[in-house]
Amino acid sequence: MRDLDKQETYLVDRRGMAVELRDLAGSGPTPQGPLPEPYGLLAYGEAWWVGRLLGLPEWTEEGTQFLLQGGYDLGAALALGLVAETGRARLERLELPPSPLNPYRYLRYVLLAMGKEEVLLEVDQALLEERRRLGPEVPLEENPAKFLAYTLLERTPLFYAPDHPGLQEAAQALLARVGKSLSLVPPPTALEFFLTGLEARHEQGDPLAAVLLGSGAGVALAKEILESRVDTVAELAPPEAGPLAQALALWYRLAWTAYYLALLYGVDPGDPEVLLRLREAAS
C-alpha cells in the first residue's frame, strides 16, 4: 500500500493539484464592484452548485442576471445568454478555465458581485483553517483527509448531507473527477433508501462506506440505520460557522480526500486530456 507520508507517492501529481488546493482560498476573478439587485443566476457545469448554495432564482426581470458558463451545457448557456440580453437586467457572464475546484471561484465571484464580503470572509477563513491540517506536510495521524482517504480505499463511498443542499452531489463529483473513483448519493427519500435499498445485500459484505457530512438529527438517524448496513461509517463534522462556510469547508476537506485517494490508487488527480475534449464537445 502506498504511503501518503512519503514524497515518492506524490510523483503521480504531474499537474500540481496539491498547489491549486493549497492556494484555493482567495483565488479566482474579481468583479468590478457590487452589482444592482435583484439577482438571477443561471449556472452550468462546474458552476451548478453555486445556484443551490445561494438559493437565487434562475431569472430576474431587472437588476443583475448572472450566467455562469462552467461547461457541459450543450449550448444552453449561449442560447439563454441571447435571451437574457433582450431583457432589462444587466447580464453578467463568467466562464473560467476548467478545474474541479471552480465551484469555490464561481461562488466567490457572485458573493463579491452581491456585496457580501463578510460572508466570503467567513468562507475563506474556514478554508484556511481546514488547510492547516490537510496538506501533504501534515502527517497521517493529524490529517483527517489522509485518514479518510485510507478509509475509502477499495470501498464505495455513500455520501449523505441532509443539511447542506447539493453538497453530497458535489462530493460525488469531486471523488469522480479528482479521486477517479465511483461513489453513491441517495435519492431525496434518503432514510427510506437506507432502510430498504441496502437490506438485501448488507449481509453479503458489500464494501460500502457511508460518509455523513454535517451534524444534527438527520445525520444521527442515518448513522443509526447505516451502522448495521455498510462496511464502515465516517462522520465529517462541520466547523463552527455559518451554513455556507460549513458547506465549503466540508467540500474542501473532501477535495483533499479525493486528491489523496487518487494518489493511493497511483493515478494523476488532474484532468485527463479526454475530459477537456468532452467539455469542448458539450459546451
Q: What is the CATH number of the domain that holds 258?
A: 3.40.50.10490
- Is 164 in the same domain as 102? no
Q: What is the pLDDT of residue 201?
A: 66
Per this entry, what is the length of the chain?
283
- Is 111 in the same domain as 146? no
Q: Which pTM does this prediction carry?
A: 0.96
Q: What is the pLDDT of residues 174-229, one digit of tens each?
A: 999 999 999 999 999 999 999 998 887 666 657 999 999 999 999 999 999 999 89
Within-domain flag for 19: no
What is the average per-residue pLDDT within 97-107? Answer: 96
Tell me the C-alpha distance between 239 and 124, whole Å.
Answer: 13
Residue that the C-alpha cell 444521527 belongs to: 220
Q: Total structural domains in the chain?
A: 2
Q: What is the pLDDT of residue 199?
A: 80
- Is 86 in the same domain as 199? no
- Is 257 in the same domain as 143? yes
Q: What is the pLDDT of residue 280?
A: 83
CB atoms within 10 A of CB 215: 15
Residue that the C-alpha cell 489523496 belongs to: 260
In order of 74, 210, 267, the CA distances from 130 in angstroms are 36, 22, 24
Tell me the C-alpha distance between 236 and 59, whole Å.
Answer: 35
Asked whether the beta carbons of 67 and 92 are under 8 A apart, the reply is: yes
Q: Give the residue numbers spanning the domain of 75.
A: 39-125+272-281
Question: What stretches of the chain show up as alpha helix (H) in DSSP?
Answer: 17-22, 48-54, 76-85, 102-113, 117-131, 144-152, 167-177, 190-196, 217-226, 243-265, 273-281
- Is 99 in the same domain as 179? no
- Is 106 in the same domain as 160? no
HSE, side-chain direction, 13 A CA sphere, residue 162: 14
Q: What is the pLDDT of residues 7-29, one digit of tens each?
A: 999 999 999 999 999 999 999 99
Per-residue confidence band for 79, with pLDDT thresholds at 50, 70 and 90: confident
Asked whether the beta carbons of 71 and 98 are under 8 A apart, the reply is: yes
- Is 99 in the same domain as 141? no
Residue that the C-alpha cell 447539493 belongs to: 166
Q: What is the pLDDT of residues 236-259, one digit of tens each?
A: 999 999 999 999 999 999 999 999
Within-domain flag for 34: no
Asked whether the beta carbons of 191 and 217 are under 8 A apart, the reply is: no
In order of 7, 17, 28, 86, the CA distances from 106 in angstroms are 32, 18, 8, 24
- Is 46 in the same domain as 158? no
Tell me the C-alpha distance between 123 and 238, whole Å.
Answer: 12
- We report the CATH number of the domain holding residue 50 as 3.40.50.10920
Q: What is the pLDDT of residue 204?
A: 64
Residue that the C-alpha cell 435519492 belongs to: 187
Within-domain flag for 33: no
pLDDT for 281 beyond 90: no
Within-domain flag for 222: yes
- Is 81 in the same domain as 139? no
